[in-house]
Amino acid sequence: MTKGNINVSVENIFPLIKKFLYSDHEIFLRELISNATDATLKLKHLTNVGDAKVEYGNPKIEVKVDKEGKKLHIIDQGLGMTAEEVEKYINQVAFSGAEEFLDKYKDSAKDSGIIGHFGLGFYSAFMVAEKVEIITKSFKDEPAAHWTCDGSPEFTLEASDKTERGTEIILHIAEDSTEFLEDSRISELLLKYNKFMPVPIKFGTKEVNDPEHEPQTTKDEEGKETTEPHRQITVDNIINNPNPAWTKQPTELKDEDYTGFYRELYPMQFEEPLFNIHLNVDYPFNLTGILYFPKMSNDMQIQKDKIQLYQNQVFVTDNVEGIVPEFLTMLRGVIDSPDIPLNVSRSYLQADGAVKKISSYITRKVADKLKSLFNNNREDFEAKWNDIKIVIEYGMLSEEKFFEKADAFALYPTVDGKYYTYDELFNKIKAKQTDKDDKLVILYASDKDAQHSYIESAKAKDYEVLLLDSPIVSHLIQKLESSKENITFARVDGDHINNLIKKDETTISKLDEDQTKALDELLKEVIPSEKFMVQLEAMDSNESPFTITQPEFMRRMKEMQATGGGGGMFGMGNMPEMYNLVVNTNSELVSEIIGTKTKKKQERLINQSLDLARLSQGLLKGEELTNFIKRSYEMIK
């Protein structure tokens, strides 16, 4: 038997490991199973290339809980180690940089890149164990070895009578970590981190029906049938799927395979995804994965962090910001890349060039997929538009490359349920909706019911009205106006339709200069100036007498501020709601107001007309609405 000291001169390295190696102690199991997986896959490689003269067979990794003995066993059938290799890899390599480690990390060791520097994955066992044993037999024809360490720098190394190839690690669980002796806790961790590991993982056994035994049906003397019960057999309980969908080629998978894998990832999601995007690239970095578009709503507070990040089929995190562009964090699925640099807990990304390249690759791939879905089945794409538009619009706002590609598939729906791409829309409306200054005016509504009368006014002139109702629409149209030439967006209730798209023709007012001035003064006396800016307009006599509009700039800035950004610099949040009141000087009602002899009756007509206009905009509420109804009944009498 050999005794010795691990190659580290500082006595307090183990307390430091226990305290600082990871922010989350539970991932010791992930590290140890990752090591067991590596040992198994290395053996597979050596047998494939002929360097290992042994049968690879069907190896598995087994996790066993010994609650009474307070032990946790992790057993693999991989490469194994000789005593010399134990000495080298366990005692020397892992701690070759221990002094530097202590100097550099003793104050901020938590989450700071230790594994990457020092290969300390195995030593994470000491976060939960007071003693660790390794019993290992190499695939080479050499004696087995038994290493023991109690969390001090001292170890023992002796021969073992183990005859089967592979490694068994025995953790003597510490008093403060007995949760890891509960089957339910271990099962939870295996499902969280190791659900898709590439080597089968056994955790206990289970009873299943014997597939080779068909229950027999017999008849008794009276002809009554009885069927014997299924014969049960005990089988290994394999908790993982070693060959998940993302590790296969797209040509190997059918639609039902993608849907089945989605259910495997998210067992509590009952709605099926709309479509998926299979990622598969090996240059200039390695990345595989499957992303799913779930049904979306207009709620911008959608649960993020649904995409799971793996490194060689080992779960790392579901916080993928930094790898996946922010607008795609609303998607679900899996990304697996060995090239994503991770620190000690494999949970926090280091921002570097590789990650940026991965992010732009994913953006491009998603854009290409959307384009092909649109081209291959436009009708289906249009039917799904409302469920995916938030992601696409957010992407157009936040990623310039995505914005450029989106012209091929971003849709602009109308209030009548037609869908146009930008180019189609431009060609459809340019003849009628270009104003006298040669600017194309794109009309839109955000609420078909609330803005119904304005939409009808636009349709009466044969104008097309888009329905843009997502919460970020103000930001998006600002972006479109700045990137497309000579266009402007105008919400249909932003002004009278004649003012939204100004043409050369002018309507002559029925009122002379004195009458116009008198009307203006009268209106300003009666109408509260802190709420309404009065505009006198000469329009067709059939047009509405009083129309309330809200200036596009002011409303848009308020909306942008409400959804983050824009507007804040203009102090819009503190400004009272201001509206324009457009008064049609050619309407019969205006003629009646001017012709009325008593001031009281004039005021009553103006207030009633103003309240009707406010009512149509949903601006009449509370006491004012009560008074309006009361006054209206009196007028009927």
Task: Say if residues 165 and 209 touch (Cβ distance below 8 Å).
Answer: no
Task: Say if residues 180 and 173 touch (Cβ distance below 8 Å).
Answer: yes
Q: Is 76 annotated as a binding residue?
A: yes
CA–CA dist 294, 272 (Å, integer): 7
**SS3 letters for 382-409?**
HHHHHHHHHHHHHHHHHCHHHHHHHCCC
Q: Is 163 annotated as a binding residue?
A: no
**Nearest one of 277, 238, 232 to 258, comparing CA atoms:** 277
Residue 107 makes CB contacts below 8 A (sequence gap 6+) with: none
Q: Is 322 annotated as a binding residue?
A: no
Q: Which residues pair with 157 in a beta bridge?
A: 2, 147
Per-residue CA distances from 440 to 104, 346, 501 (Å): 62, 52, 9
Residue with token string 């230790």: 114
SS3 (DSSP) at 482: helix
Q: Is 81 annotated as a binding residue?
A: yes
End-to-end CA, the chain: 112
CA–CA dist 124, 115 (Å, integer): 10
CA–CA dist 84, 180 (Å, integer): 31
CA–CA dist 109, 17 (Å, integer): 9
Task: Say if residues 394 and 406 touch (Cβ distance below 8 Å).
Answer: no
CA–CA dist 477, 382 (Å, integer): 20
Q: Is 24 annotated as a binding residue?
A: no
93 Rama class: left (phi>0) / alpha (psi -120 to 50) / beta: alpha
Question: In the Cβ-directed half-sphere of 406, how many Cα atoms lie within 13 Å?
Answer: 22
CA–CA dist 496, 501 (Å, integer): 9
- Alpha helical stretches, state H, 231-304: 255-265
Task: Say if residues 420 and 414 touch (Cβ distance below 8 Å).
Answer: yes
Report the 10 Å Cβ neighbour count for 161: 9
Q: Is 31 annotated as a binding residue?
A: yes
Residue with token string 């955790």: 203
Edge-first strand order for the sheet with 546-549 is: 532-537, 579-584, 546-549
Edge-first strand order for the sheet with 307-311 is: 275-281, 287-293, 332-336, 307-311, 314-317
Q: Is 35 annotated as a binding residue?
A: yes
**Nearest one of 94, 171, 91, 169 to 131, comparing CA atoms:** 171
Number of continuous H segments (helices) and E segments (strands) in the chain = 19, 24
Instruction: Please give the DSSP secondary-structure letter assigned to residue 228.
Output: P
| Cα-based angle 616, 620, 626 (whole degrees, multiple of 5) | 125
Task: Say if residues 194 and 33 touch (Cβ distance below 8 Å).
Answer: yes
Q: What are phi and psi of 248, to 5 degrees?
A: -100, 165
Q: What's the residue count for the chain? A: 637
SS3 (DSSP) at 315: strand
Residue 235 makes CB contacts below 8 A (sequence gap 6+) with: 205, 206, 208
Which residues fall in the annotated binding site for ATP? 31, 35, 76, 81, 96-97, 167, 346
Which residues fall in the annotated binding site? 31, 35, 76, 81, 96-97, 167, 346
